[in-house]
Amino acid sequence: MTQHFARGLAQLCLVAALLLSPVVHAQDASPYALPSSQAADYAAILNQRADQVTLFDYGPRALIRIIDFPNLQEQGRMFNRVVALVERIGAPRSRVLNNDELAQFIRSVGKSDATFAYGNDFLVSELVVFFNLADMGGIRLNAEEIALRKMLIESRWMVERNGFFQALKPQAVILSIPQASDRTSPPVSVQARTTILMHEISHAEYYTNPLYANYCRHFWRNVLNDGQRNAFRKFLSGSSYNPDNEEMMINETQAYLLYTPDPRAFNARLVGMKDKDIESLRARFFAGFPDAPLAEMRR
- pTM, 2 dp: 0.88
Q: Can you tell me the distance from the alpha carbon of 180 to that of 72, in angstroms, rounded to the nearest whole number?
A: 10
pLDDT score, position 48: 95
Q: Can you tell me the distance from the alpha carbon of 198 to that of 203, in angstroms, rounded to the nearest whole number?
A: 9
pLDDT score, position 23: 46
In a structure prediction context, what are the per-residue pLDDT tens digits for the chain, which is 299 residues long?
A: 444 443 443 443 433 333 334 444 544 556 899 999 999 999 999 999 999 999 999 987 889 999 999 999 999 999 999 999 999 999 999 999 999 999 999 999 999 999 999 999 999 999 999 999 999 999 999 999 999 999 999 999 999 999 999 999 999 999 999 999 998 889 999 999 999 999 999 999 999 999 999 999 999 999 999 999 999 999 999 988 889 899 999 999 999 999 999 999 999 999 999 999 999 999 999 999 988 888 656 54
Q: Can you tell me the distance from the alpha carbon of 267 to that of 169, in angstroms, rounded to the nearest whole number?
A: 36
